[in-house]
């Protein structure tokens, strides 16, 4: 029971960070303006040209998925996100026999729910983290996107863990 409470506490904490960061950005940071040629384009400069990298907090609204993909299909994306979260919850609580995968799935589910809530609150996803590496501008992303990426990375690492099952020849 204590372990479930810890997992639920982690879930709520990560979700709260995501919700409050997006609320702050949406209400207090002007939308990113590339027509203003002065970095950070209306956002908050954190650092510039530090080992050829720049980082700023900006306000970008994305109606699509990652990098604006499927931006014209917002209802489809909303439904798809709900289906993915539902499937992952069923997998974790019913089908999953490998409990070490619960934390990576927790990150993925929390990030997905964060972006679903964005769509419910704002009608779009609020993105804020903007990196430039040398002259390349990485697409703007948010805390929820980071959680999904961390979860996928952890699952990738777990895929290299030796299984207790014997391999069939």
- The DSSP-derived string for 6-54 is HHHHHHHHHHHHHHHHHHHHHHHSPBP-TTS-STTTTSEEEEEEETTEE
* pLDDT average, residue stretch 19-33: 94
pLDDT tens for 41-57 read 778 899 998 999 999 99
Q: What is the pTM of this model?
A: 0.87
* pLDDT, position 38: 75
* pLDDT, position 167: 56
Catalytic residue among 18, 118, 145, 164, which? 145
Least confident of 25-34, 83-92, 144-153, 159-168: 159-168
pLDDT tens for 94-147 read 888 888 888 999 999 999 999 999 999 999 999 999 999 988 989 999 999 999
pLDDT tens for 54-92 read 999 999 999 888 777 888 888 899 999 999 999 999 988
* Residue 164: active-site member: no
Contact 58, 34 (CB under 8 A): no
The domain limits of the chain are 2-158
* Residue 145: active-site member: yes
Catalytic residue among 18, 118, 127, 164, which? 127
């Amino acid at each position: 029971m204590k372990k479930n409470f810890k997992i639920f506490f982690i879930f709520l904490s990560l979700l709260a960070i995501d919700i409050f960061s997006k609320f702050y950005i949406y209400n207090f940071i002007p939308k990113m303006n590339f027509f203003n040629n002065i970095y950070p384009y209306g956002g908050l400069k954190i650092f510039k040209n530090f080992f050829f990298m720049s980082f700023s907090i900006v306000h970008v609204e994305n109606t699509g998925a990652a990098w604006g993909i499927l931006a014209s299909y917002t209802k489809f994306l909303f439904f798809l996100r709900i289906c993915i979260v539902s499937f992952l919850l069923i997998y974790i609580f019913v089908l999953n026999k490998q409990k070490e995968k619960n934390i990576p799935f927790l990150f993925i589910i929390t990030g997905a729910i964060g972006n679903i809530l964005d769509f419910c609150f704002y009608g779009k996803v609020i993105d804020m983290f903007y990196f430039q590496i040398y002259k390349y501008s990485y697409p703007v992303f948010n805390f929820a996107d980071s959680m999904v990426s961390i979860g996928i990375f952890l699952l990738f690492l777990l895929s290299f863990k030796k299984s207790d099952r014997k391999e069939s020849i």
